[in-house]
Structure 1
Amino acid sequence: MPNYNRSRRVAVAGGAGFLGSHLIDRLIDRGDEVVCIDNLFTGDKANIAHLRNHPRFEFIRHDVCFPLYIEADEIYNLACPASPIHYQHDPVQTTKVSVLGAINLLGLAKRLRCKIFQASTSEVYGDPVLHPQTEEYWGNVNPIGIRSCYDEGKRCAETLFFDYRRQHHLSIKVARIFNTYGPRMHPGDGRVVSNFIIQALRGEPITLYGDGSQTRSFCYYEDLIEGFLRLMDTADDIVGPINLGNPVEFTIRELAEQVIELTGSASRIVAHPRPQDDPMQRKPDIGKAQRTLDWEPKVPLRDGLIKTIAYFDALLSSG
């Protein structure tokens, strides 16, 4: 007889990363079995060390650019370097992990006939001319720039997901993630929140690219993971893409000033040239997530920064 009370077995590719490890914590907490798949290029075993001996947790060191043969009831694909420093370090590999990784995990989902989630990105919108960005906007992306390996890799992954749905009737979910931050961010990933906090805690100059007038909207990881779970648990006809992010917009200079205030740092702000293809504006329209998932962010930037600063402060103190 089938066991209707058994927990779901969920595969999380990129599970040792910042967001993947937090997702796994939520899945474990609700009673699921989790298989964490990561090649540890940007993931860190420290993020999942607390689960090492958990009876419902399994770790597989594997590069999703190569086929994977496991059993699962659901798959989350978070496997890809997500910060410019990391994805530009090996741009060919970045494109490979987005495209080949999607093909291999979609192939696994096709074999298992299971639901699969794609962690896409607001970078599919490029340097947008539409503000805020809706899911219907096709974007303004440079296909041959230094960020293209990530931007176009993620765009191609979305194409693959929707083609697998049309051609193979696969159950898919696609979320477009806007700037997310919180504990377990890699201290050297070059993302603006972690950069500013590390520099402020060390008393180093805060590196501002351009005049700091470019805007971002910052979503605390707890809110984002809640969005993941709500999207994954919707009916099969709800596929996305759905924007998940915080619609409250800040300039980068405002972020720097807030970090300096909260850390009590004596750091000064130093301007540097703005990188190629760095978007001037980034703000999600989350109307679809509000209507479809009954979801919106709850954690204000100040509260999230306080928790993130405490994490990096402890990390630097222990190192």
Structure 2
Amino acid sequence: MRIVVTGGAGFLGSHLCDALIQRGDSVVCVDNLSTGRRGNIEHLLDHAKFEFTLADVSTDIPVTGPVDAVAHLASPASPPDYHRMPLETLAVGSRGTEQCLALAERHGARFVLASTSEVYGDPQIHPQPEDYWGHVNPIGPRSIYDEAKRFAEALTSAHRRTSQLNTGIVRIFNTYGPRMRPHDGRVVTSFIAQALNGDPLTIYGDGSQTRSFCYVDDLVRGLVAMIDSTEPGPVNLGNPQERTVGELAELVLRLTQAESKVEYHPLPVDDPARRRPVITRAQQVLGWQPVVSDEDGLGRTVQYFRDRPQEVEAARELIAGGQLDGAVLPAPAPVDVVQAA
């Protein structure tokens, strides 16, 4: 197939491009590099079946030739990025999604929207099945990203109903792995960078809030399966193994062999207490489930950052600025400091 991947130079997008090229597809990567990095796709630029188009999908998608599928991954996704670019985030979720749907419609192509577990907000049902409508603050600090994705889902569903477009929606839970930026504000990267720098690991709240962490290779297998299917979704893609943030900190310290302390800060506004996907639908309709353990996946990610010491060191001040896991904080004084276990 010839597949357009928007946001293809980003963390997830570049891994998806790799997987599609590896199996023999042709890929058109569209990215404006506002958060994606050319380095993520540098190894593909000379490949005969890979094309890179520098463009903002909110404005235009200058793709010519046949299109068999459109995978819409374009969007700032890390907290520092969507707080730095709030209007752009809302635009790519609205106008950008409309442009991608129009491209798919013109070519009779399959359209897959990369949505997010953030559509569930701070969930009152646990774990989260796809038929749960969510508990979202529409004007809170996370709303920029949350509501952009919720609107994108509504728009995708409307196109499916009105024009019988072959669409699919995946809701992606916390995903990590190589090519993430150490300063992207997510808890996994922040912990790894802090440990490798010998800095205290910053936990917001008491560390009892939970997340589920899916390694990027597993997640991409799910995306490819969704592209190949006619399933409309939404379908949760994530790891159903739940882990507290405190447990994650302990695992990162063990894998890095760091002697860092752990600092506790006040909990951010609208920070979800628990996150874990129900993946029964993905298992049944896509034959998908994650297979990489947290220990294995985090070990690979730690090594990726070890190989980039200058980038990790440069992230120190940005991480200390108080941006972590979805909220922007004023870098408060620690509530408590404990020696790492």
**Equivalence map 1:155-304=2 (5 Å):** 155-234=150-229, 236=230, 238-304=231-297
The amino acid that maps onto 1:148 is S
**Deviation at residue 171 of structure 1 after TM alignment:** 0.4
Structure 2: distance between partners of 1:245 and 1:99: 24
Identify which of 17, 22, 25 aligns with 1:32: 25
> Alpha-carbon deviations, 1:161-199, whole Å to 9, x = none?
000001111000110000000000122101000000000
Q: TM-score, normalised by structure 2?
A: 0.89
CA contact (8 A) 1:176 1:241 kept: yes
**Deviation at residue 226 of structure 1 after TM alignment:** 0.5
Indicate the SS of the match to 2:156: helix
Identify which of 122, 132, 141 aligns with 1:137: 132
The runs of at least 4 aligned residues of structure 1 exceeding 6 Å deviation read: none
Structure 1: distance between partners of 2:242 and 2:99: 36
Moved more, 19-28 or 83-92: 83-92
**Equivalence map 1:3-82=2 (5 Å):** 8-70=1-63, 71=65, 72-82=67-77
CA contact (8 A) 1:67 1:105 kept: no
**Deviation at residue 96 of structure 1 after TM alignment:** 0.9
Structure 2: distance between partners of 1:270 and 1:169: 52
Count of matched residue positions in the alignment of Structure 1 and Structure 2: 310
Identify which of 101, 104, 114 aligns with 1:106: 101
Q: Alignment RMSD, CA only?
A: 1.0
CA contact (8 A) 1:69 1:108 kept: no
Structure 2: distance between partners of 1:17 and 1:188: 14
Structure 2: distance between partners of 1:23 and 1:310: 21
The amino acid that maps onto 2:226 is L
Structure 1: distance between partners of 2:185 and 2:62: 34
Q: TM-score, normalised by structure 1?
A: 0.95
> Alpha-carbon deviations, 1:20-46, whole Å to 9, x = none?
000000100011111110011110011
Structure 2: distance between partners of 1:216 and 1:115: 31
The amino acid that maps onto 1:242 is V
CA contact (8 A) 2:239 2:276 kept: yes
Structure 1: distance between partners of 2:172 and 2:82: 16
Indicate the SS of the match to 2:308: helix
CA contact (8 A) 1:216 1:249 kept: yes
Contiguous gaps of at least 5 residues in structure 2: 313-341
> Alpha-carbon deviations, 1:60-113, whole Å to 9, x = none?
111111122323211100000111111111212211111111011111111111
Specify the alignment match of 1:4 in structure 2. Answer: none
**Deviation at residue 151 of structure 1 after TM alignment:** 0.4
> Alpha-carbon deviations, 1:213-252, whole Å to 9, x = none?
1000000001100011111112x3x210000000000000
